[in-house]
Structure 1
Amino acid sequence: MKKIFILSAFITAFSLQAQFTITIQAPADFKDQDAVLYTLNGSKDIIVSKEKGKNNLWNFKYPKNYMGMMKVYFPDSNNTFSFISENKNVNIKLETQTNKIKDVIYLDEANKLMSNLQEGSQKKELILPALSQIKEYYKENTDFGKALKAEINRLSGGSEGIDPAQHPFIYYYNTNYSKFLSNDASKNVSQDDIINFIDKSNDMLETSSLLRPVLVSYLNTGGNTNVSTSVDKLLDRLKVETPRGQTVLSELIDIFDVYDMQDFKDKYLGLAKNLKCTITDRLATTLKSNANVEIGAVFPNYTFHAPANTNAKTLHDIKADKKIVIFWSSTCSHCENELPQLLAKYNDLKAGNIQIVGLSLDTDKDSYAKKIGAFPWVNDSELRGWNSSYSDTYNVHATPTYFILDANNKIINKPDHVGDVLEYFKLK
């Protein structure tokens, strides 16, 4: 028994060792303590762990093999930055000013290489066409002509110089970005090419951030005139009983939501609801988020952080015959146009015991405070932008988003625009 105990203890100790570590250093005047580490699944950030800094140093220990995009979020200051993992130690130094990240310095080999390639990719799209035109006016045997040619050749290169054995994720990302998402991709890639890629790709597809833009490209390839046929063809190949099939199904439901393609969203959300197989966490999140805001569902309660124009502690504490809940932002141009129209009818709504609750996806406290000074209704914000809890809980993909609730907080209408809100209350 003693030997078994020792072996068990050894296995437990081994399992607690990190596969790799992520070390982040910030200047002494950076005030945040808490940091949150995320991995990626499709387009969804997945929380891995939370750490408190010691002497402005954060060490995350990741216990598994992981190759793909990662993110660290500082909730107190709403700072965030991204990086990659190739299952090796990551080392990052932050430069900050007035508690905001001004620059991210990558000290490990993989992130330095990825950062340089990303910078080169941006130059390739923005600068290369101009350099190619300029080249015609200079002789190649001059110093400037030689330098110009060398820069054009460097920017024209793709992933040819990346060793896939040394940098598998970087090679995967850059190769497939160039093939499926570059400016020339639409000319050379068919829907069958994309289906084969999604079907046969390894697990880095989910962690690469490529999946959603590739799916959007798939829907647009060849001037797609029959979305249902294309989606059915893709899902038939992937099989919705598989983890990848369910991730793709989840992404497609969200895409149709974002682009206001309601009929397609309803069709594939219905398919997801009727699955009899084991549901992955990724698809379960999409199903839950949508179920929360179905017509007839009780709008999930929300505990206010620092509410204005109310003493209520939660959204459900606000008593009214009806409530209009608005998700908005001070930087949203559509909100800038629509909310004043609601303000013009505010007294009429209030007289009918209809309360407005604005939940802002702002990040800048001053901008938010200045804007709500003009809005007499209940206002609150987590000041975390799209890192707030709103997007997942209430399936919010755009601002403004409206919900109308009855006295029991049941959802009775989901207007698309402020005009629909006013028409519902016969104020238009």
Structure 2
Amino acid sequence: MKKIYTLAAVMAAFALQAQFSVTIQTPADFKDQDAILYTLNGSKDVIVTKEQSKNNTWTFKYPSHYMGMMKVYFPGSNNTINFISENKNISLKLDVQNNKVKDIIYLDEANELMSKQQEGSQKKELILPALAQIKEYYKDNTDFGKALKTEIERLSGTSGSIDAAQHPFISYYNSNYSKFLSNSSDPAKKVNQDEIINFLDKSNDMLESSSLLRPVLVAYLNSGGNTNVAGSVDKLLDRLKVETPRGQTVLSELIEIFDVYQMDDLKTKYLGLAKNLKCTINDRLASTLKSNANVEIGAAFPNYKFKSPANTTAKSIYDVKADKKVVVFWSSTCSHCETELPKLLEKYNDLKSKNIQVIGLSLDVDKSSYTKRIAAFPWVNDSELQGWNSSYVDMYNVHATPTYFILDANNKIINKPEHVGNVLEYFKLK
């Protein structure tokens, strides 16, 4: 019994060593109480935990090993802050004005270093070319010319190598970003498809948590040209094996890339491949399968409970009674919505006469902008005011605004129009 107790104590001590905390401090006038901590899986944010403020300080305990990107979201004010974890305690202080985050002060070594690295990289990519052009118009012996030369030399130099043993994630991120995603004009630095495949196959678990996976996949697809995208994808998946966790995560990302870029034939092909897998499905691919199943033609449109609905007493989408429903996801900052929704408004009375109801779910974040816009829309309106962090983004597989669905009286999806013209044509109102 004593030996078991000792072993248990050792395991408990090990668990405590593996745990790290995220601490965020804000000024007293910051009004949010709730904050949500996320990790990253490919391009998907994964909720870890939700905490409440104690004296304008949030403390999140992370119970296991994690190296990669993290974020904290404040739903009350729609503020998001991003940072990294190297499996050590993280400490941040926020500069806030009018309940909006203006600046982040990184108090831990890893995030302070990462911030400086990112700032240096941005200046090198954006400012250095402009300074080089300006320098042509100033002589080196003038005060301004000397200052220009000094700054160009500073930006042109290396920012110093990162000790991979001390900062494994920063080293991983910087080296692979530089290799696979930098816009180098040097042909010798261009990577080919085989190099990208080898990276995706051999990389450690930091690939999924680094935010590099999707842009590297896009770079891979672009490197093969437009002539045989399916061939490039098959080559990649054959190497990775879709039965493996890495293969499934990559397959999930590819399906969503094809969805975003409206490459419907490719999406259908690889979504079918995912559906037919006989192995255990990982969480990343399972979420993609679920969000797509939710919006298939013939599927029951998942119900959504309204938060602060306008122009209705209904409590949810299912409570809205009509022979047909048009559900549209939109935003007041969306230029296509500005063009399309007025056309829907022109025909709204005709739709109502056919017992067709319109339900608008907004991806706005600014309450004032949203409120002003819906004043012109007599149909059912609702918004979480959380933009792309809104719960219905994943639920209904929304990748762009506006996105339309037509439902029957039983809330089954009977059509997925691409544009408002398709909506009006479906109801013979065009």
- Alignment TM-score, normalising by the size of structure 2: 0.95
Deviation at 1:154, TM superposition (A): 3.4
Q: Find the counterpart in structure 2 of residue 380 from structure 1.
A: 382
Give unpaired runs (5+ residues) of structure 1. Answer: none
Q: Give deviations 1:141-200, integer Å, cap 9, x for gaps.
A: 777656544433432345652222221111111111122111127941211121111111
Asked if the contact 2:15/2:64 (under 8 Å) is kept, the reply is no
Moved more, 387-396 or 160-169: 160-169
SS of corresponding position for 1:245: helix
Distance 1:298 1:158, change over 3 A: farther
Q: Find the counterpart in structure 2 of residue 180 from structure 1.
A: 180
Deviation at 1:212, TM superposition (A): 0.5
Q: Give deviations 1:192-216, integer Å, cap 9, x for gaps.
A: 1211111111111111101111111
Matching of residue 164 in structure 1 with residue 164 in structure 2: yes
Matching of residue 325 in structure 1 with residue 327 in structure 2: yes
Q: Find the counterpart in structure 1 of residue 65 from structure 2.
A: 65
User: Identity, % of aligned pairs?
Assistant: 79
Q: Distance in 2 between matches of 1:391 and 1:197?
A: 31
Deviation at 1:7, TM superposition (A): 4.2
Asked if the contact 2:329/2:361 (under 8 Å) is kept, the reply is yes
Amino acid at match of 1:247: T
Moved more, 55-64 or 366-375: 55-64
Deviation at 1:117, TM superposition (A): 1.5
Q: Find the counterpart in structure 1 of residue 414 from structure 2.
A: 412
Asked if the contact 1:26/1:93 (under 8 Å) is kept, the reply is yes
Q: Find the counterpart in structure 2 of residue 208 from structure 1.
A: 210
Indicate which of 279, 282, 296 corresponds to 1:280.
282
Amino acid at match of 2:332: S
Deviation at 1:421, TM superposition (A): 0.4
Moved more, 342-351 or 219-228: 219-228
Runs of 4+ in 1 over 6 A off after TM superposition: none
Q: Distance in 1 between matches of 2:138 and 2:374?
A: 57
Deviation at 1:81, TM superposition (A): 0.7
Q: Distance in 2 between matches of 1:241 and 1:153?
A: 50
Amino acid at match of 1:421: V
Asked if the contact 1:181/1:217 (under 8 Å) is kept, the reply is yes
Amino acid at match of 1:51: E
Equivalent residues in 2 for 1:102-251, closer than 5 Å? 102-136=102-136, 147-157=147-157, 160-184=160-184, 187=187, 188-251=190-253
Distance 1:185 1:239, change over 3 A: farther
Q: Find the counterpart in structure 2 of residue 76 from structure 1.
A: 76
RMSD of Structure 2 on Structure 1 (CA): 1.9
Matching of residue 362 in structure 1 with residue 381 in structure 2: no
Distance 1:77 1:418, change over 3 A: same
Q: Distance in 1 between matches of 2:170 and 2:267?
A: 33
Moved more, 392-401 or 213-222: 213-222
Q: Distance in 2 between matches of 1:421 and 1:376?
A: 18
Moved more, 307-316 or 58-67: 58-67
Q: Distance in 1 between matches of 2:186 and 2:393?
A: 31
SS of corresponding position for 2:69: strand
Deviation at 1:401, TM superposition (A): 0.4
Give unpaired runs (5+ residues) of structure 2. Answer: none
Q: Find the counterpart in structure 2 of residue 252 from structure 1.
A: 254
Q: Distance in 1 between matches of 2:414 and 2:309?
A: 24
Asked if the contact 1:186/1:221 (under 8 Å) is kept, the reply is no
Distance 1:31 1:112, change over 3 A: same
Asked if the contact 2:18/2:65 (under 8 Å) is kept, the reply is no
Indicate which of 307, 311, 320 corresponds to 2:313.
311
- Alignment TM-score, normalising by the size of structure 1: 0.95
Asked if the contact 1:159/1:175 (under 8 Å) is kept, the reply is no
Equivalent residues in 2 for 1:265-304, closer than 5 Å? 265-304=267-306
Distance 1:87 1:185, change over 3 A: farther
Deviation at 1:133, TM superposition (A): 2.8
Distance 1:420 1:249, change over 3 A: same
Asked if the contact 1:322/1:404 (under 8 Å) is kept, the reply is yes
Distance 1:290 1:222, change over 3 A: closer
Moved more, 281-290 or 211-220: 211-220
Q: Distance in 1 between matches of 2:175 and 2:8?
A: 43
